[in-house]
Structure 1
Amino acid sequence: LRLRAQLDAAALGQFIIGFLAGGGLLFRTFLKAETPILRQQMKWIVWGLGVSIIPFTAYELYTYFVTPNVSPLVEALAIGPLIFIPLSFGYSIVRYRLMDVDVIVRRSFVHFLATASVAGVYLILIGKGAALITALVPNAPSWIIQAVTVSGVLAIAMLFAPIKTWLMERMDRLFYGERYSARRNLDAFIRTISATTDLSTLLERTVEWVQRAFAVEKVAIFIEDAEAPAGYRLAHSRGVQESELQLPPDFGWIIRAESGPGGVLARDVTSGLPDAFVRGMDDLQYFVPCSIHDRAIAVLALGRPLDAQLLTSEEVKLLRVISGYVAIAMENSLLYREQAERAAELASLKDFNESIIESINVGIIALTPEGRVMMWNSAAEELLGIARPQALGRPIETLLDADLIRALRDVTQPYGWAVPEARNIYKFRWRADHERDLVLNVSIVPFWMRSGAPSGSLLVLEDLTHRVRLEEQLQQREKLSSLGLLAAGIAHEVNTPLAGISSYTQMLLKQFPADDPRRALLEKIEMQVLRASQIVQNLLNFARMERPTVSELDIRKVLDETLQLLEPQLRNTRIEVVKHYAEELPPILGDATKLQQVFMNLILNARDAMPEGGRLTLAAYLRDGQVCVDVEDTGVGIPPEHIARIYDPFFTTKGVGRGTGLGLALSYGIIQEHAGRIFVESQVGRGTRFTITLPALERAFRPRDRMAAAGD
């Protein structure tokens, strides 16, 4: 009886201590509740426990200290209020969504099993340990039995934590099912997203893992976007009707403000959300900001789990944990994408700049301050005849002509190849190789880095050869026009006395017999008069402004007919005539007689340039819509100082009586009348080549006479 009384007293003391400790903890939690939801939950639980426990405690104290004899009514009034304990818990769950009830139950059950297991082993050890030791070791001292027993108790106490962990793992596996495997692979998931640089792949893997780990069907990820009205845009989703998803303008602010310290906004347990947010998010229940450096770069949104249950605090904490890793992975991915876009932009800009440099028809060479080539564009390749791989890295002195290098050094002193300002050389004449004489504008300008530091210079080579030739032809044309008018006046003035001299000479010849010695003198006078008349006639032909008679011509036929006319002049000259005609040539519009005169002058000049014989090459071909004719000889060539004067009237290098100097001037005028061009290339001792270009029939137009051209 005494033991029974002691046990009753101990039970009452345990009850009082447990009640006071539990009530104190609940009341403390109620006072420190940070959210209205938690405060409301704790208020109903505290009131329910107070209303239930106080009458029951008073009943127990009364029966223990006063008298155990009470009426059934008093006993019913003391025990009846205990019904408020489950009612208060139930109401708080239903009304305020206490999400961790299953967690509490599961953990309580695990603790109960672990405690029961340890207690069972402890009782067995206490009850049977001494007998087992005595059976194994007869006559064992008592202190050995006590030491073994104490050691066994300590070992059993140490087994509590492993047993509880093992039971919790089995309980979680039973409770979560497939979600447990996904959560166990959290480390692998974190490593995977940390190593993923592609944003689309990162979002896909995150959504897939969240679906498996939390057993939700609907998942969406919103990424920060300054251009979007809500500040965020939907980046990836599964199971969400995107057409029905409407983000309110203050979406980001609502998420940050309502997620609170827990870091998760749960629609079911959060009151006072704006109507626009509630209406636009029907498919989604939980919103987790993925923040880094106090900036939410994304929002992870989940629908309700498939079992229609609320997420527990453990699951909410897990969401919060992975949101941090997702934020870091997304920032890395966005940075990687930004760097990739910048790299692509730089590559595109580089290609664009190189395309500009390669497309320009001016030679551009980039030089280091030491004069080594850093860049060599295609125009420089074509102009200088040196391939880019052969030029890069080499000193510029080894690539350009010594005269050009000397001229560049003269204008860049004393700075060398790192000039502070632009320096220019105008119309520099340079022989690029054995066949090309070039006229160049050369500029060297400073090459600055974006930082403002000098990094060398740019050498710009502009080929003016064609332009200079056109300018010279224009000057020649104007000069010939003026000389033509002057020659016409002179010819008319000279014709009158020549006619008188010729008439009187013929009258005198008729008066002298054939054997009169004075007749030979008169015949010489008549011969010189005829020669002077021919010169005057050439002057009139040069100055005459007649419209040529044009027709469709095959230039090859015109060349062949000209050769037939000159066959007596070329006979016995040891000159080999070579013809290179294209098989198909379009016709031209022209005057056959005048073109024959041009070709005749060029062929006879070639003959006179090869007194010891040689090769005369006639070529006809199509180039850039122009019918081209080359008349090339292997004669003595034309000195450079005479090239600019060969089209001047009366300019000749032949001896007295062998030429009047009007042949090339007439040829130049005829080609101009046919809307063509004539060019010359010559090297002393190697020969001369005249090139004539005439419009093909598809592009040809009727030649204007020189009067019309002068009128233009």
Structure 2
Amino acid sequence: MAKTLQSTEEKVKPFRLVKYFTFTSLIVIFSGTIVLSILNTHWARTMQREESEKYALLLIENLNHQIFLQFAIPVVLKYGGISLREREQFERLDKVVRSTLHSFKVEMVNIYDMEETISYSFDKSLIGKKNYGGTAFKKALLGETVSKQVQAGNVIEFLLGIPKESRIITFAPYRAERPLSALSGPVLGVIEIVQDISDEYKMIFRFQIDVIITSTIVMTVLFLVLIFVVKRGEGIIQKRTQEKLRLEEALSRSKHMSSLGEMVSGISHEIRNPLGIIRSSAELLKKKVISIDPANTIPDIIVEESGRLNNIITDFLNFAKPKRPDFAKCHVEEILEKNIKYLSSQTEEQGYSIKKTHEDDLPAVMADFDMLYQAFLNLLINSIQAMPNGGNISIIISSIKKAVLVLIEDEGEGIPKDLSEKIWDPFFTTKEKGTGLGLVIVKNIIEAHQGSIELETRSNGGVRVKIKLPENQER
């Protein structure tokens, strides 16, 4: 009885420890979430202000362009000068400004002359006022773009980060434009744009509240789940059992792949012998058929398909029983040059271009020439097959950190994200004709040379293969 009680107490102690740890973790995580939400809100406000400033600058650039082309030039040509006191000219400018800023969220636009007098404004009561722009006007007159934020509200609103009013005021020079030139002309005045971002700040605040409420709900649910898990230790046992089963399954799969490799090797050898007889017989038959029926292509088809089947068998054998490299000093650029020459007849006829560039005096590598030739050939053929309508293949060879780096890039469709993890699986292929062993064999060859291989989709389309081989490594 005492022993059972002691055993129960020993079980309760870990449970209490986990429960206390759960409470502490909940408080820490919740506090961290609140801090992160506050920081995120601050970052969001900062980003909102920066985006508003960029937005204002783009609006001013567009407004400057439209005013100069649609107002300044036509008015000067028609009247010989600009005088906004003339009602017709003012209305024309007002129409250009409002049509340019139509549908954009702009509260106020002021246009100053060189004497800091407001010549145009959405608020007509401001027209004619002087010295209204301050320091920002002077900086804009010198060619700078100046933005400032103006807020209004009570103390509580400021503490919560939701002032009653929040505006971004941007001053930028108004310049003459030079036709057919990227250079800006002289400063003719200053444009001031006022944006009301109060609603955006309130939206950010509402988002912060939503994050806090959501975090509270999630933390509460998480706490209940953790308590439930702690009370039911069977969950841990079940996970351990599942992990054991997963390891056993992985071991079984590994044994299966090993058995499959041995079976494939045996079957491939058995097939290769009669296949050789079929091919040689087809070649003899072809010689006899030519004299009787020159148009008959059946022997050619038999020879071609026999060759394709032989290549498949070779892939199976290379996968089942990888060859041990016969290391010797060789140069990667020479191997790739041989690959390019071998493929030249095919690439020229089908519209492919393979360009190879490399550094001078590249170091040699200790490698098996024939095995690397096969690996590079497989990769180049993959690149060609990825571009059925022709395209460019780029090969770049360089030396980095006691290794030779080879980059092979094509202009195909790239690798879909959902298949990026499967491309190295044996027998996985997306081609109508293929064994799914090409990349596996390439990877085995590269790793047999203590190298590495990576495949990635380029940002502008196509695949980039990155291969690293150690230089002059003794074995």
TM range (shorter): 0.3 to 0.5
Q: Tell which has more relative contact order, 1 or 2 (C-alpha 8 A, sep 6+).
A: 2
Q: TM-score, normalised by structure 1?
A: 0.30
What TM-score, normalized by structure 2, do the two folds share?
0.43
Q: Which has the larger radius of gyration?
A: 1
